[in-house]
Structure 1
Amino acid sequence: MAGTYTPRPEIAALVENVNKAAAGYEAAAEGDVHVARRNLQLEARKLLYSLEEPNSEVWPRIFQVNVSAAVEIVSDLELWEKFEGGGEVSITEMVELTKADEIIIIRIFRQLVAANLFIESPGPSFRLTSLGKPYLHPDHRAFNNFMFFDIIPAIMAMPRTLAEHQYKAPTKETGTPYKWAHGEELWTWLGSHPDRGVIMVAGMRSHNPMDAYPWGIELAKLDLDDDDVAIVDVAGGQGHIMDGIRKENPRMKGRFIVQDLPSTFDVVPSPPDRVEFMVYDIFTPQPAKDAYIYHYRHIFHNWSDGDCTTILGQIVPLLKTQPKSKLLLVDVVLPNSNATMQQAIMDITMFPMGGMERNESQWKELLAKSGLGIKKIWRGSEPEACIECQLL
């Protein structure tokens, strides 16, 4: 999902505003210094916001809970679509469309303007900024909904549940922190509430796909026939990543297989064009043989080291007998120190599911337990990367 960056002329104008505010702060009289400082802070924040990658910012913004709640209310009111095309929508129009009280609209949009998702004009009326435009896509709104209702409540329970478990890391026996908070595993909950499962799958589609690994270049190196298994996308949801690779490489030969649980496939009428579905549980032996690439995207960060070792135990025996096969793990690779706010947020978000984000040292330790090492780390525009594994 491509991001729409702030145009360079707008950034240049924001730089000019920062310079003006800095000059105003320098020249401010003693009694006006606090006003000039606030103005400089505001202009500096606007400049920083303009340099963000819009789609990536959706993740940390969810944890500004007031902003996430406001995003959800605008979704419930079906107002996002009214901002298509870059036009302005007035408070009066929104009240007429939604029948909501005007004061509710005013307060919700005050929060969203402060978060730099909207710009306010006299009237008042509002239009989207580059950071607000991702929410025009329903998958980003689904991601906000899934995190807000299914994950954040378990994070809010962390102080209580960690104390109850004497601050011990979750294990297979103790269950996940989601279960600690709600009495049921998240994956069990999603299986028994298919409407929430649909929201989760849509939300996962909101992440920028497949730019860490150069699929077109690497697949072109393979001498593939139509019947060859090019890629097995393990626990690949409803096939949106494989569909994207197919569309970007329409002449690519070989079979693209997406594996997941039956409940994941049951909610879609058919797989994407030139993509196959195969029912599979990642904790059982891998049934797809002789594939050139086995691909796990956003899977290992869902699980503890022990569970990850069990998952790897299903694929490593095949790698030992299939020298042509590659194993690719697409996930975050944290720095060994000084993680960014977004990286730290992504890590703590995995806590309710019993998973974690890992730094390069932790990845090496995890893979070594299964007789694997890191051949190369391919890095993309997201905080995540693609780890190409090799047998030790």
Structure 2
Amino acid sequence: MALGIVWASVLLSLFLALLTADRMGFFRRKNHFHVEGRTVLLTGGSQGMGRGLGRLLSQKGANVVIVARNRQKLDEALQYISAAAKSPSTQRFHAISADVTSAEENTRILEETTVWNAGHPPDVVWANAGVSVPTLFIDTPLETLRSQMEINYWAATYLAHATLRLWLRPSSSTDTDKNNNNSRIRTDPLQRHFILTSSTAAFCGLAGYSPYSPPKAALRSLADNLQSELNLYNGHRSAHRNNSNNDNDKDAVAVPGADVKIHCVVPGTITSPGHAAEQALKHPITKELEASDPAQSEDEVAAAAIRGLEAGGFLVATQWLGKAMRAGMLGGSKRDGWGVWDAFVGGVVGWVWLVVGPDMEGKVWEWGRKGRVGLPE
């Protein structure tokens, strides 16, 4: 028994040491999200989190293209973002007015960005556009439920589909010898990144978020599936990229110009004009349920999101509550680093929900018991 206790202590100490090292970043010091000198296409870039992201990317040396509907807000945001440029003499900025709920518009956005970018596709595409209409399900018109899915899921899906088809086509990154029609693949040593902005609402069902949570949960599921599928193309590129660069190799295999990484960012409450509008719509019980949740400014959420990407994160939460929810609800999602921290916190969160879950349900039930419910006619 004494020997067993010794070995148990050794294993526990090793576990805690690995856990600490993982959280301190010893296993992932490398910057996995290089943006200096690269072009980033960002939807929803005229206000809120998008504006904060644009400014921080500008400070890090990126060329930034922002997309939104309102031209005046776009122009104001573009001036704000470009003013923060790390290298004003070399960095470039552009704004595109578009309706991202249209598949054709997403294709146009990519085409315009590619032309503006000297014929090269953007290196990073961030599907950040989204709007929350936090109302009770039966009080929400069907048109609103449909529009919430359009802006919060389909807009990002259209952009993902068009972007990945562009990035994964060898012809988008080849030089062709007109004399013999041979193509030489130009490979990029840096990865391309496609990023989806979901929400912590994807992790937890909450009274009053029925129009918004399902499309955000669908985005997380899309990210999981794309992360798995991209291994197919990245693996193919890894196996054939060397001989594809050899001009004398007649049997060269066509490959994409760069590896592609998928990420999903899950912010929580963001203090922005959009949040103020949401508060006016929310049922009082929704406000009560999230009263103690931490909030971040647009700059704080942008900084946290990009820190997570630089650390190589796949499912990136931006504040402590989101990180705890993420760890407890990972399911089959890709873990970061060695996954030690996720495994530990996930177990703890499972126990926490034994208390938090019934407490939240009890608050909603008590609200109904007191008669403060609007029933359909």
Q: TM-score range by the shorter chain?
A: under 0.3
Higher relative contact order (CA 8 A, sep 6+): 2
TM-score, normalized by length of structure 1?
Answer: 0.24
